[in-house]
Structure 1
Amino acid sequence: MSKGARSGLLLGLAVLFAFGTWLAWSFVIDDAFITFRYSRHLAEGFGPVWNVGGDAVEGFTNFAWMLWHGLFASFGAENLVTVAKVTSVVLGGATLVLLVRATDGVGAVVAGLAFVLFLPTYFHLNSGLETVAFAGVLLRLVIVALHVIDEERVFDWEPPLLLLLLAMLRPEGLLAGLPALAVWFWYSRRIPTARWGLGALLVVGAGYFLWRWIYYGQLLPNTFYVKFGDLAASSEWAGRTALALAPLLVLTLALLVVKGLWFKGALLSLTVVATYAPYAVSGLTMDYLHRFAYHAFPVLCLGAGIAVAAIGHRLASAAVGAVAVGWVAVTGAIAQGLPTIANYGVDLQRAHVAIGQGLAEAGLPEEARTLAVSDAGAIPYYSDWRSIDYIGLNDEAIAHGADPTTVVGKARPTVVIVTSYRPEIPGEMYGLDVRAATAGYQLVARIQMREDYWQNVFVLPQWAPQVSTAVTASTDAARLTYDQGRYELTVDRWLDRVSGR
């Protein structure tokens, strides 16, 4: 492919990329605000903690992502959502460039189109989480290893640094990047700078692991003790992933039998296996729009591009490539949960964000700003109240088996917020005995997020008037601003909104 043709392809793909990013710009996931809360407390000098002055608990899995946003917060950035979105868009664009430059001819077209036509790409770009950053760093590490296989010179400091960043973005990143690092080191083992680079990786990595073990007191982030372990969900996840990405998986595996490419195929295949292994043996939550499968999605796009280019016959290559691209475009567009996710951002604004902002404006004294909540994201972040997360993501005791009702009852927070999936108050939610936990409280607000989701705000009587006034004012204003009275979970509501209807 000539330089001009490659530039033209990149320009066309960039237009599609920009359009997809705009379509999903309103989306942000509630979990992202957990990380932002830690980032803000770090920037304020309290350390990466959930509650200022409380026990240190690691309620996030993306340490490097938390540090990155903490850096911006320390310089006065107030809108960390925008920081996260812009960072992911830049890294997503870099990923697209890497894909097109790492393949040739029809392979570059297939790799690039598969990436930009997969609709979940744009929701992961805008989610506020580290998903796209993780996928981009993993792709770069694999490409560096491919350069080494082709006997091209690489910077010896880059692979260890990429692996360290990958492991700090998510703990399982260490496993995902090991095949590529092993290939690089095998080819570079006689180069002194490569040995020094690997040694530095081991020292810095061990130091980081030891620090966080001492600081947080656990081998793994607290969330692993809550979210992982449902083996019954593992086969379902593997089946959904295999179906959604079938042509990319098949083409990548096909490289194993192509003369001259089998070693590259082995590297790509092992990387995918190593990336997916932790998810395939443990039940996952918050796996919206193939979120965890997306971690190796660009690697699969690369594998498919290399395989299609290797076919040789132009018509056959185009046909196989069209099937692969069309398949992932369709499976992405019909992904389970798309109607919920497409409308999630505005629904979050008129419920969780508005509640958190209302609590912050209630004017309660510092000692009364205490909260118990199950959706430990935007509400604790915007209120910045001392919070009990009774699911346990940010509470070590609950994560390790303590009864949420006992924990909440002992703390007696000013506000208890109970999620429900129907208009009625539930008897139990996430292990919390609602009647027992809210005995003596007043129900001051019931805020609907979407057609099957409510937040019920209970407040101690002495603070009920202030909280009720502030939260009602905030949520009423948000309800009029965001999708005015529309709560249905449909793609049509999303399309009406982005089209201005």
Structure 2
Amino acid sequence: MTFLFIRMTLDDSFITWRYGKTLAESGVWNWNSTGPLVEAYTNPLYAALSIVPAVLGISAELFFKLVSIAMVAGYVLVVRRARLPRIQEFVLLAVALASPVFYVQLYLGLETASFALLIGLLFSILYRRGSLGTAGFLVAAAVAVSRPEGIVLAFVAIAWALVLDRRNRANWIGAVSVLGGWGLYWCARWWYFGQFFPNTYYKKTANDESLFVKILDLALVIGPLLLPIVLGIAVAATLYRRQVAISHERPQEILRDATPALLAAVSAAVVLGVYQKSDLVMDPGHRFYWQLLFPVVLVVLSRPIIRPAQTGPDSLLYRRLFGLIAVAIATVTVVAWHESLSSVAMIVGVGVVAVAVIVGFARDTRVPMAIAAIGLATTVGFTSTSELTSLLAYRYRLADAHEAIGKAIERTQLPPGSIAVGDAGILPYVVDQRVVDVSGLGTVATAHGTVDAEYLDEQNLGLVVLISREPVAGTTNPVDSSPVFYDYVTNERPDFVAGRAAMFADKYYLNYWISPEWADSGLADELDEVFERSKRDNAMPNPAVFMDNLWNFPFLR
């Protein structure tokens, strides 16, 4: 699968990597080397790592492919060292390594896979040991700086470790170190960038509803779905209690066994309370809920679900009980996200989980727990064949469109000026000019909706590239801040010349408007050539694009 999916790189990943490049070339930690400071990334860990290839002078794309391969090797090593029963070890490896969606998230260049694996490792350490220890607190720190919501997961894990063993002085030292260190980092970036949240938060927040309204909306969606499961579990648990004589375990052991259910509940709250309420555009393989719900599978399977011969009949009772509850919560979260059973794979996955959970509560056996985990992995990791083929062709389309425009700009001797781009990613990464991000991720003014003609006059725009559904010069889609830019180049500055820059896919074109100062540079001729080449190559269907580039790996160029 690596042969197939390693060729994929999402355009958004280049937004983060541009920080390392800018720092290495100009000594400034910013998306642009000049202009207002902006935090266009949500993954500080990958932003910091992007410095390495920039300093070494190697391809950032190649570097992060190697990081992804190292993650796979690390995952296999951790699973093998866990010394689980052989069949359980096989299942734990298979839910990741046999899943196409796992490889999609692994190689897209985003932090999705690393974030999921770190969360899984963090809660697995807590679940297996009943404490975090030095390694666990280091993993908690990595989770906290992987994404803004990572601090929620890190805080919950640390708080749970204190609940399990509040008398351990090392736990308190670790908690203060990680949470205090994160607080200092957050305040430092707030002081540096001038915004409490990353710029992406202001772009992706879909509405300004109160927290109470969001909680009420969430309850109305998840309540009807959760109620039948709760009733089914209650009935099955009653039947189970009639079959098994239950002794009392220590409260700390019961709480430790509840770790997977805790993770599932927190993940469900973030997925449905935050992600679903946000304007999430790039969500290949449902990466947002995958990165929080896939770890539930890993944690549930991280401790033996087979009873050792020398233990009593109820030694794994609570472990299986809370494991099944965790799987049920995560599955309901996926259904609530889609608000329906939207595919055959999802129907099968949910059905398998439902049967396994009910049987698992009714009978004292390890089989339902393993089957439930597999069902959850299927439910979380499903995607359509059309999306997979689209992703396999994606990087080649990007090379013939966005990247080709950037290289055309780099080949051309241009007077001073900036570029406005409607789809920021690899195009700004390739060029040296200051870039205004029309979508809002890389520019504060567009994220906050304060762009006007006066602001655009100050940017000294030489080129504006906007997305359009038609290959017709002078057309654009009215999305994000593009209407303001379109009005500027057609009404405020009618001396801008319109043209066609590139075709990415059917009904996805990049059109340009070039200023009089840049019109005589020869750039328009370069962009016309890019359009003709992209129209020839990107007009093909996705399977044809992929097969035409079967042995072409862009990160090796």
Render the CA deviation track for 1:60-105: whole Å, top value 9, x for unaligned: 111121011113312322x101111211221133234434554433
The one of 274, 283, 287 aligned to 2:266: 274
Deviations 1:374-409 (A, max 9, x none): 211111110121011122212222222213665335
SS of residue paired to 2:11: coil
Distance 2:214 2:281 in 1: 9
Match of 1:437 in 2: 488
Query: Equivalent residue for 2:192?
Result: 215
**What amino acid sits opposite 2:259 in the alignment?**
L
User: Structure 1 residue aligned with 2:513, among 442, 455, 458?
Assistant: 458
For 1:389, the equivalent position in structure 2 comes to 437
Alignment partner for residue 471 of structure 1, among 518, 527, 533?
Answer: 527
Shift of residue 351, structure 1, vs aligned partner: 0.4
Q: What one-letter code is carried by the residue in structure 1 that aligns with 2:67? A: T
Deviates more, 1:273-282 or 1:219-228: 273-282
Residue 115 of structure 1, CA deviation: 1.4
Counterparts of 1:100-119 in structure 2 under 5 Å?
Answer: 101-102=81-82, 103-119=84-100
Question: 2:282 pairs with 268, 281, 286, which one?
Answer: 286
Q: Distance in 1 between matches of 2:142 and 2:199?
A: 20
Correspondence for 1:487: 540
Aligned to 1:4: none
Secondary structure of 1:292's counterpart equals helix
Q: What letter corresponds to residue 271 of structure 2 in structure 1?
A: Y
Separation in 2, partners of 1:117, 1:377? 30
| 8 A Cα contact 1:443 1:457, kept in partner | yes
What is the CA–CA distance in structure 2 between the aligned matches of 1:359 and 1:70, rounded to whole Å? 24
Whether the 8 Å contact between 2:19 and 2:50 is mirrored in structure 1 is no
Take 1:56 and 1:321, find their aligned partners in 2: how far apart are those partners?
A: 45
CA positional deviation for 1:304 = 5.0
**Aligned partner (choices 385, 401, 408) of residue 449 of structure 2:** 401
Bigger radius of gyration, 1 or 2? 2
Structure 1 unmatched runs, 5+ = 1-19
Taking structure 2 as the reference length, the TM-score comes to 0.72
Query: Which one of 355, 372, 381 corresponds to residue 405 of structure 2?
Result: 355
Superposition pairs of residues 141-152 of structure 1, within 5 angstroms? 141-149=122-130
2:203 is matched with 226
d(CA) in 1 for partners of 2:24, 2:524: 31
AA matched with 1:301: V
Shift of 1:219: 0.9
Query: Distance in 1 between the 2:183 and 2:538 partners?
Result: 53
Contact 1:30 1:377 in 2 (8 A): yes
- Alpha-carbon spacing, 1:197–1:303, altered in 2? closer, same or farther (3 Å): closer
SS at match of 1:198: helix
Query: Structure 1 residue 371 and structure 2 residue 351: aligned?
Result: no
Deviation at residue 53 of structure 1 after TM alignment: 2.3
Per-residue displacement from partner, 1:304-360 (whole Å, max 9, x unpaired)? Answer: 5369756675776776676566x449x624278434323211111110111111111
1-side partners of 2:495 and 2:304: how far apart?
A: 66
Residue 86 of structure 1 corresponds to 66
The residue correspondences of 1:170-209 to structure 2 (distance < 5 A) are 170-209=147-186
SS at match of 1:446: strand
Kindly indicate whether the alpha-carbon contact (under 8 Å) linking 2:471 and 2:500 is maintained by their aligned counterparts in 1.
no
Verify the 8 A CA contact 2:34 2:434 in the aligned structure 1: no
Q: Distance between the aligned counterparts of 2:78 and 2:221, measured in 1? A: 29
After superposing the two structures, state which structure 1 stretch, 302-311 or 195-204, moved more. 302-311
**TM-score (structure 1 length as normaliser):** 0.80
Aligned counterpart, 1:7: none
Render the CA deviation track for 1:398-453: whole Å, top value 9, x for unaligned. Answer: 22221366533543400000101233413634232354222221124331001121
Count of residues in correspondence between the two structures: 458
Q: CA RMSD in A?
A: 3.7
SS in 2 for 1:279: helix
Verify the 8 A CA contact 1:225 1:400 in the aligned structure 2.
yes
Return the letter of the residue paired with 1:361. Answer: R
Q: Which amino acid aligns with 1:184?
A: A
- Structure 2 residue 398 is matched with structure 1 residue 344: no
- Give the deviation of 1:302 after TM superposition: 2.1
Residues 224-282 of structure 1 deviation map (CA, whole Å, 9 limit, x = unaligned) = 0011235899989x999xx9xxx9xx99xx99x99878645532222233234333222
Secondary structure, aligned partner of 1:428:
coil
Equivalent residue runs for 1:160-175 within 5 Å: 160-175=137-152
Q: Are the structure 2 counterparts of residues 188 and 315 from structure 1 closer, same or farther at C-alpha, using a change threshold of 3 Å? A: closer
Q: Supply the AA of the counterpart residue of 1:470.
A: E
CA distance in 2, matches of 1:266, 1:388: 48
Tell me which moved more, 445-454 or 87-96.
87-96
1:93-141 C-alpha deviation (Å, 9 max, x unpaired): 3234434554433322222212123222112111111111111211111
In 2, Cα distance between the equivalents of 1:426 and 1:64? 35
Contact 1:57 1:222 (C-alpha < 8 Å) held by counterparts: yes
Residue in structure 2 matched with residue 10 of structure 1 by the alignment:
none
Say if 1:421 and 1:453, in contact at 8 Å, map to a contact too. Answer: yes
2:15 matched residue in structure 1: 34
CA gap of 1:388–1:233, structure 2 versus 1, over 3 A, is farther
Change (3 A) 1:307 1:277: farther
Q: Which runs of 5+ in 2 are unaligned?
A: 307-319, 321-359, 553-557
Q: Are residues 453 and 478 of structure 1, via their aligned partners in 2, closer, same or farther at CA, if it must alter by over 3 Å? A: closer
CA contact (8 A) 1:265 1:303 kept: no
Corresponding residue SS for 2:461: coil
Structure 1, 447-456 or 276-285: larger mean CA deviation: 276-285
